[in-house]
Amino acid sequence: MISSFLKWVSGIGEAFLGIPVYGGLFVFSLGWTPLIAMLVLHIVTLIFSSKENKRYYASVFGIITSILAWIPILGMVLHIISGFLLIWDAYKSSKEKALV
């Protein structure tokens, strides 16, 4: 399923951006373009999840994160939470796929 793959990718990306100091330096050094890229990725993931009738709450939270992540400490916390939610959702989707 495409949505599961996109959740893995966006979850790993969010987890990377949530690394204290390094994630912030990465975003800042590239002029906040990683936040825009993650926003687009979350929207695409949301669309595929919706079309495949899969959970999409983590993608919605990722969209909120991408919008608010320019705020230093809040951004780091939101990236960590989004990464966890997306990876957990991707894991659960993979388990459901294996059972079918």
* 88 within 8 A of 12, measured Cβ to Cβ: no
Residue 3 is encoded by which pair of tokens? 């949505």
C-alpha–C-alpha distance, residues 55 and 58, integer Å = 8
User: What confidence score (pLDDT) does residue 89 get?
Assistant: 93
* pTM (predicted TM-score): 0.88
User: What confidence score (pLDDT) does residue 72 get?
Assistant: 85
User: What confidence score (pLDDT) does residue 70 get?
Assistant: 87
Q: Identity (one letter) of the amino acid at 52?
A: E
For residues 49-74, give the mean pLDDT: 91
pLDDT band, residue 99 (cuts 50/70/90): low
User: What confidence score (pLDDT) does residue 94 get?
Assistant: 77
Residue 97 is encoded by which pair of tokens? 């796929």
Percent of the chain topping pLDDT 90: 67
User: What confidence score (pLDDT) does residue 3 get?
Assistant: 87
Q: What is the mean pLDDT of the chain?
A: 90
- Give Cα separations from 57 to 48, 54, 64 (angstroms): 13, 10, 11
For residues 59-67, give the mean pLDDT: 94
Where residue 40 falls (left for φ over 0; alpha for ψ -120 to 50; beta otherwise) is: alpha
